[in-house]
Amino acid sequence: MQNLVILTGSGISAESGVPTFRAADGLWMGHRVEDVATPEAFARDPALVQDFYNRRRAQLADVQPNAAHRALADLAARWDGDFLLVTQNVDDLHDRAHAETPPAAGFELVHMHGELLKAHCTATGRVIDCPGDLAPDQPSPFHPRGVLRPHIVWFGEIPLHMDRIETALARCDLFVSIGTSGAVWPAAGFVQIANHAGARTVELNLEPSFGSRLFDEGVYGPATEVVPGFCSEF
Ligand code: APR
């Protein structure tokens, strides 16, 4: 029985039609990061920020899990140890793939940068499902002084589930990083924790990431090809 941790980034959803972050123009849907993805931006211009996330949320209706998401769901269904899937993605494509193919008992999925289809209250932090648009001053059902904002970890905020993730990394036998550039911390440092734990470490990406030399192995190509190929080893 082996303990597995897999980290995914936007590269795994690229072939589903969800844009990656660090594309050549450096913009997200025409905006600079600091204008739409920081707490300061939300305080300055809540209408712009809510509109940006409303549009990203609406785009999810037009995309489907691809062969890479489905290969991980199939792996989760047959894996007999612990399997923590950590995604930096705020889309729901992993969730949908695992709903189609229910995982074995040791599986857990965590969204460390939040989820587009959830919102949270600025006064209490309580999280609520959010299938549709949010208004600039969307009242919170949880507190009279709160508003609902996208449940997204913005730049300058602390990623979610870090205790759970670090515990799993410290006892994993295999760590696989898929479709992430390794430009954003703390996810970029997960390979070091796995190396320290003595795990086999593998990178699957379109091209070598910033931290590629820290991995034991790298397999390079589109996720819909390299992920099913890698999963077929098990
Ligand atoms: N298959 C595999 N990898 C791909 C594909 C593909 N079809 N297309 C692109 N990639 C790779 C790119 O080569 C790149 O290394 O995916 C990586 C995407 O990197 P980024 O755009 O930096 O995205 P990510 O690593 O997920 O960003 C991390 O940064 O902006 C924040 O919070 C945001 O969660 C995000 C975090």
ipTM for the assembly: 0.98
Residues 123-139 have a mean pLDDT of 97
Whole-number Å distance, alpha carbon 33 to ligand 1 midpoint, is: 15
Task: Answer whether residue 44 shows pLDDT above 60.
Answer: yes
Q: Is 98 a catalytic residue?
A: no
User: What domains sit in the chain, N to C, each tagged with a CATH number?
Assistant: 1-18+65-113+159-234 (3.40.50.1220), 19-62+114-152 (3.30.1600.10)
Whole-number Å distance, alpha carbon 203 to ligand 1 midpoint, is: 13
Task: Answer whether residue 24 shows pLDDT above 70.
Answer: no
**Three-state DSSP state, 6:** strand
Ligand 1 atom at minimal distance to the Cα of residue 20? 21
How confident is the model at residue 31, as a pLDDT? 85
How confident is the model at residue 28, as a pLDDT? 72
Contact predicate 87/111, CB 8 Å: yes
DSSP character string of 192-215: HHHHHTT-EEEEEESS--TTGGGS
Sign of CA dihedral 162, 165, 168, 174: negative
Task: Answer whether residue 27 shows pLDDT above 70.
Answer: no
How confident is the model at residue 88, as a pLDDT? 97
Ligand 1 atom at minimal distance to the Cα of residue 68? 1
Contact predicate 205/231, CB 8 Å: no
220 is an annotated ligand-binding site residue: no
Task: Render pLDDT for 74-118 as a digit per residue (tens, 0 to 9).
Answer: 999 999 999 999 999 999 999 999 999 999 999 999 999 999 999
How confident is the model at residue 23, as a pLDDT? 64
Structure tokens at 228: 């099913």
User: With a 6 A CB cut-off, is 15 part of the ligand 1 pocket?
Assistant: yes
223 is an annotated ligand-binding site residue: yes
Which one of 94, 113, 120, 151 is the catalytic residue?
113
Task: Render pLDDT for 160-191 as a digit per residue (tens, 0 to 9).
Answer: 999 999 999 999 999 999 999 998 999 999 99
Residues ≥6 apart with Cβ < 8 Å to 207: 220
Whole-number Å distance, alpha carbon 89 to ligand 1 midpoint, is: 9
